[in-house]
Amino acid sequence: MPQLTSARYGKDNIRVYKVHRDQATSVQTVVEMTVCVLLEGEIDTSYTQADNSVIVATDTMKNTVYILSKQHPVTPPELFASIVSTHFITTYKHIHAAHVKVVTHRWTRMTVDGKPHPHSFFRDGAETRNVEAVAREGQGISIRSAIAGLLVLKSTGSAFHDFVRDEYTSLPDVYDRILSTEVDCGWTWNTFDGLDHVKSTVPKFDEAWNNARTITIKTFATDSSASVQNTMYKMCDQILAAVPAVAAVDYSLPNKHYFEIDLSWHKGLKNTGKDAEVYAPQSNPNGLIQCTVTRQGSSSKL
Ligand SMILES: O=c1[nH]c(=O)c2[nH]c(=O)[nH]c2[nH]1
């Protein structure tokens, strides 16, 4: 007999734009986000017995996201994701968990003639602010906040040497290399009792995002990097110290390689080692280095 061992469904890629118009100043502020809602609960019969009576239509989920966007603040995203996920577990008795992911895209205010423009914005990069909230009946709300898609590069200040060397190894020790990665940095909050607990934490969410972003950028730039592994661990350590309400910090960093090009075959042109100036950026394969760091004495293990 087959057995349904896990079931979750919902609406992905719900795109929402919300504008706030300040009547007094005529300054407008915009938020654009992409939302995913996935529900769990007593929905097995919809899969096993064609019982649609337990299905909240994914179209209804989309409508709900629009309506809640109108009725509530959409920032900080930690609050909005908690509002949406709590809505689903409190509105439908048979829905016991709601996973809500909110990806906020950048619309940065333009500066025109040295002044912030009241209603014009530009997309300054593919970086997004991501939040995943899971409201689970009787178990509160768990939230992971993240920075994703932040592309960074340093042209020196990074080395990689003294790694395992055996008959499979061809990579030379490098004492000065280019380091580039697309940052995916997440921080998981101590579990919230419920929506009121999230509401009382609102001022901390933007502060944590700012701290994580500043620490990531500053450490990337200033660390004399021995490896991606060591540099990312230093970032985690500082974020844990800066944000006490966070239980764990995680990074996933692709190592975007830039290879030297030997041009000596062309009239003895010197372009390797200390003479290297022109490099070949690589798309693949790439290293992928990940870690999660928690506080000492915490029970969670890697
Ligand atoms: O920082 C690095 N970590 C590695 O594990 C690794 N492996 C590799 O080939 N280059 C690098 N660089």
pLDDT in tens, 268-295: 999 999 999 999 999 999 999 999 999 9
Q: Which CATH number fits domain 1-138: 3.40.50.920, 3.40.228.10, 3.30.70.60, 3.10.270.10?
A: 3.10.270.10
- Strand-pair partners of 146: 130, 186
Region 11-20: mean pLDDT is: 99
Q: What is the pLDDT of residue 299?
A: 59
Same fold, 1-138 and 142-301: yes
Model pLDDT, residue 298? 72
Cα(111)–Cα(113) distance, integer angstroms: 7
How many CB atoms are located within 10 Å of the residue 189 CB? 23
Could you list the residues known to form a binding site for urate, using ranges. Answer: 58-59, 160, 177, 228-229, 255
Contact 78, 198 (CB under 8 A): yes
Q: 28 near 109, Cβ under 8 Å?
A: no
Centre of ligand 1 to C-alpha 235, Å, is 17
For the whole model, what pTM was predicted?
0.96
Fold type of domain 142-301: Urate Oxidase (3.10.270)
Residue 52 structure tokens: 């649609």
Ligand 1 binding pocket (C-beta < 6 A) is 160, 171, 227-229, 255, 287, 289
Q: Is the ipTM of this complex over 0.85?
A: yes
How far is the CA of 117 from the CAs of 19, 25, 32, 136, in angstroms? 15, 12, 18, 42
Q: Which sequence spans correspond to the domains of the chain? A: 1-138, 142-301
- Going from the Cα of 168 to the center of ligand 1, the distance in angstroms, rounded, reads 15
Burial 226-244 (b: 16+ CB within 10 A, else e): ebbeebbbbbbebbbebbe
What residues act catalytically? 11, 58, 257
Q: Give the pLDDT score at 302.
A: 46
